[in-house]
Chain A
Amino acid sequence: ELKVEQNPLFLSMQEGKNYTIYCNYSTTSDRLYWYRQDPGKSLESLFVLLSNGAVKQEGRLMASLDTKARLSTLHITAAVHDLSATYFCAVDPSGNTPLVFGKGTRLSVIA
């Protein structure tokens, strides 16, 4: 059974600082997705990573995938308050099958 683990689960960071969220998964997969969820809202797709070494960037967020290490990272550069949300990674176990989600990382950016 595929397990997806994120760490940290909670992250409080100061504006302007950098940090990385990690997503480890337990079985081979080359499809990984990052989602954002604001309080009381649904999930919004951020990044789709489809191969080993894939890197995607949008604004202050950059996601990467290392399929050999079964690891994805979400790097935050110079955090701003608007990035405060919960970030989930999700893995597709075998291609076009239901995604398995991690527990999420709740990010709070403080002044």
Chain B
Amino acid sequence: DTGVSQDPRHKITKRGQNVTFRCDPISEHNRLYWYRQTLGQGPEFLTYFQNEAQLEKSRLLSDRFSAERPKGSFSTLEIQRTEQGDSAMYLCASNRAGLGRGANVLTFGAGSRLTVL
């Protein structure tokens, strides 16, 4: 098991462009989460999936953001018409829900750093 993989690790784009990030969770994990982290802050929740169903979206997730997990395995996070305020580290995490207490430990990927010029 290679852990949670994210791609690309770094993305530099111009304001107004669209970007897409991919996350491959640990294979036996049924839940996948997206968080955003800016410098000096803790991770902020964006959205999460259980299998292919998107269960919750934060109000931080504006309509320019969309996330999918079409087959319940990998997920993509797309940001349309990027703004400078979107510059951040986008973290993906996964876990397996339904194992009782303690099942909410998240395994994080290395993150995708976005810089919007």
Contacts and interface: CB of A to CB of B under 8 A. Distances in A.
B41 A43 contact: no
A95 B108 CA distance: 19
Interface in B72-117: 91, 93, 97-98, 101-111
Interface residues of A, number: 23
Q: Is the interface of A mostly helix, strand, loop or mixed?
A: loop
A45 B48 contact: no
B41 A42 contact: no
A25 interface: no
Nearest to A95: B104
A96 B103 contact: yes
Contacts of A42: 91, 108-111
B91 A43 contact: yes
A50 interface: yes
Contact of A98 (B40, B48, B109): B48
Contact of A104 (B41, B48, B101, B104): B41
A101 B103 contact: no
A50 B109 contact: no
Interface of B: 33, 35, 40-45, 48, 56, 91, 93, 97-98, 101-111
18 contacts: A4-B42, A33-B104, A42-B109, A42-B111, A43-B108, A48-B102, A50-B101, A92-B104, A95-B104, A96-B103, A96-B104, A97-B56, A98-B33, A99-B104, A101-B42, A103-B40, A103-B42, A104-B42
Interface of A: 4, 31, 33, 41-45, 48, 50, 88, 90, 92, 95-104
